[in-house]
Protein backbone atom coordinates (compact mmCIF):
# COMPACT_ATOMS: atom_id res chain seq x y z
CA UNK A 1 0.00 0.00 0.00
CA UNK A 2 1.47 3.41 -0.97
CA UNK A 3 1.84 6.31 1.45
CA UNK A 4 -1.16 8.63 1.65
CA UNK A 5 -0.40 12.23 0.75
CA UNK A 6 -2.99 14.41 2.53
CA UNK A 7 -2.29 17.52 0.46
CA UNK A 8 -2.77 15.54 -2.75
CA UNK A 9 -6.02 14.00 -1.48
CA UNK A 10 -7.34 17.47 -0.55
CA UNK A 11 -6.97 18.61 -4.17
CA UNK A 12 -9.35 15.84 -5.30
CA UNK A 13 -12.52 17.48 -3.93
CA UNK A 14 -13.95 20.94 -3.21
CA UNK A 15 -17.14 20.25 -1.27
CA UNK A 16 -17.33 21.89 2.15
CA UNK A 17 -18.45 19.93 5.21
CA UNK A 18 -18.32 16.63 3.26
CA UNK A 19 -15.72 14.33 4.82
CA UNK A 20 -13.84 11.96 2.51
CA UNK A 21 -12.30 8.73 3.78
CA UNK A 22 -8.57 8.32 3.10
CA UNK A 23 -7.80 5.30 5.28
CA UNK A 24 -9.20 2.79 7.76
CA UNK A 25 -7.66 1.21 10.83
CA UNK A 26 -9.68 -1.52 12.46
CA UNK A 27 -13.17 0.02 12.82
CA UNK A 28 -11.91 3.62 12.57
CA UNK A 29 -11.86 5.89 9.54
CA UNK A 30 -9.52 8.78 8.80
CA UNK A 31 -11.49 11.45 6.92
CA UNK A 32 -10.36 14.67 5.28
CA UNK A 33 -12.76 17.59 5.21
CA UNK A 34 -12.78 21.19 4.08
CA UNK A 35 -14.62 23.52 6.46
CA UNK A 36 -15.73 27.11 6.04
CA UNK A 37 -18.45 29.06 7.83
CA UNK A 38 -20.68 27.55 10.51
CA UNK A 39 -21.75 23.95 10.86
CA UNK A 40 -24.78 22.75 12.88
CA UNK A 41 -25.02 22.08 16.59
CA UNK A 42 -24.83 18.30 17.00
CA UNK A 43 -23.36 15.49 19.06
CA UNK A 44 -22.28 11.91 18.64
CA UNK A 45 -23.88 9.90 21.45
CA UNK A 46 -21.71 6.80 21.03
CA UNK A 47 -18.25 8.09 20.14
CA UNK A 48 -15.62 10.74 20.63
CA UNK A 49 -14.60 12.76 17.55
CA UNK A 50 -11.05 13.85 16.76
CA UNK A 51 -10.29 17.05 14.82
CA UNK A 52 -6.71 17.51 13.54
CA UNK A 53 -6.09 20.77 11.69
CA UNK A 54 -3.96 20.15 8.60
CA UNK A 55 -4.21 23.69 7.19
CA UNK A 56 -5.78 26.89 8.50
CA UNK A 57 -7.61 27.35 11.77
CA UNK A 58 -11.03 26.66 13.24
CA UNK A 59 -13.11 26.89 16.38
CA UNK A 60 -15.24 24.26 18.07
CA UNK A 61 -18.04 25.82 20.07
CA UNK A 62 -19.45 23.83 22.98
CA UNK A 63 -22.00 24.78 25.61
CA UNK A 64 -19.50 26.20 28.11
CA UNK A 65 -16.37 26.88 26.08
CA UNK A 66 -14.93 27.43 22.63
CA UNK A 67 -11.72 25.69 21.60
CA UNK A 68 -9.54 27.39 18.97
CA UNK A 69 -7.36 25.12 16.84
CA UNK A 70 -4.50 26.26 14.63
CA UNK A 71 -2.59 24.32 12.02
CA UNK A 72 -0.93 21.28 13.59
CA UNK A 73 -3.27 21.19 16.61
CA UNK A 74 -5.92 18.66 17.52
CA UNK A 75 -8.85 18.29 19.87
CA UNK A 76 -11.00 15.37 20.99
CA UNK A 77 -14.70 16.20 21.41
CA UNK A 78 -15.99 13.72 24.01
CA UNK A 79 -18.97 11.58 23.09
CA UNK A 80 -22.34 13.13 23.84
CA UNK A 81 -21.01 16.71 23.94
CA UNK A 82 -22.98 19.21 21.84
CA UNK A 83 -20.60 21.06 19.55
CA UNK A 84 -20.54 23.29 16.49
CA UNK A 85 -17.41 23.58 14.34
CA UNK A 86 -16.71 26.93 12.69
CA UNK A 87 -14.01 28.20 10.33
CA UNK A 88 -13.83 31.86 9.32
CA UNK A 89 -11.83 30.94 6.20
CA UNK A 90 -11.36 27.56 4.54
CA UNK A 91 -9.76 25.08 6.92
CA UNK A 92 -8.60 21.53 6.15
CA UNK A 93 -8.99 18.90 8.85
CA UNK A 94 -8.37 15.22 9.40
CA UNK A 95 -11.18 13.57 11.37
CA UNK A 96 -10.77 10.26 13.17
CA UNK A 97 -13.94 8.42 14.10
CA UNK A 98 -15.54 4.97 13.88
CA UNK A 99 -16.85 3.78 10.53
CA UNK A 100 -20.47 4.82 9.96
CA UNK A 101 -20.48 8.05 12.00
CA UNK A 102 -22.74 10.66 10.37
CA UNK A 103 -21.15 14.12 10.24
CA UNK A 104 -24.25 15.87 11.67
CA UNK A 105 -24.92 13.25 14.37
CA UNK A 106 -28.64 13.11 15.13
CA UNK A 107 -29.20 16.72 14.00
CA UNK A 108 -29.59 15.84 10.32
CA UNK A 109 -30.32 18.61 7.83
CA UNK A 110 -28.92 19.84 4.55
CA UNK A 111 -25.28 19.61 5.72
CA UNK A 112 -25.53 15.86 6.31
CA UNK A 113 -22.91 14.31 4.03
CA UNK A 114 -23.01 10.95 2.32
CA UNK A 115 -21.09 8.46 4.43
CA UNK A 116 -18.13 6.26 3.42
CA UNK A 117 -17.11 8.32 0.38
CA UNK A 118 -13.46 7.60 -0.41
CA UNK A 119 -10.98 9.92 -2.09
The model's pLDDT over 37-69, given as tens digits with 9 standing for 90+, comes to 999 999 999 999 999 999 999 999 999 999 999
Enter the pTM of the model.
0.95
Residue 111 lies in a domain: no
User: Nearest to residue 97, comparing CAs of 13, 10, 39, 26?
Assistant: 26
Residue 49 lies in a domain: yes
β-strand pairing of 49-55 with 83-98: antiparallel
Residue 106 lies in a domain: no
Residue 77 lies in a domain: yes
User: Nearest to residue 35, comparing CAs of 77, 87, 73, 82?
Assistant: 87
| Average predicted confidence (pLDDT) for the chain | 97
CATH code, domain carrying 65: 2.60.120.10
Q: Tell me how many degrees the CA angle 49-52-57 measures, rounded to the nearest 5.
A: 120
Alpha carbon distance 1, 15 (integer Å):
27
Range of the domain at 44: 6-98
Residue 103 lies in a domain: no
Residue 104 lies in a domain: no
Quote the number of domains for the chain: 1
Residue 112 lies in a domain: no
Amino acid sequence: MPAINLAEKLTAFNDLWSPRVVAEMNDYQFKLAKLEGEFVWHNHEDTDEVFIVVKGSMDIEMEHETVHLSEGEMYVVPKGVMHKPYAETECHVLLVEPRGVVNTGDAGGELTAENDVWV
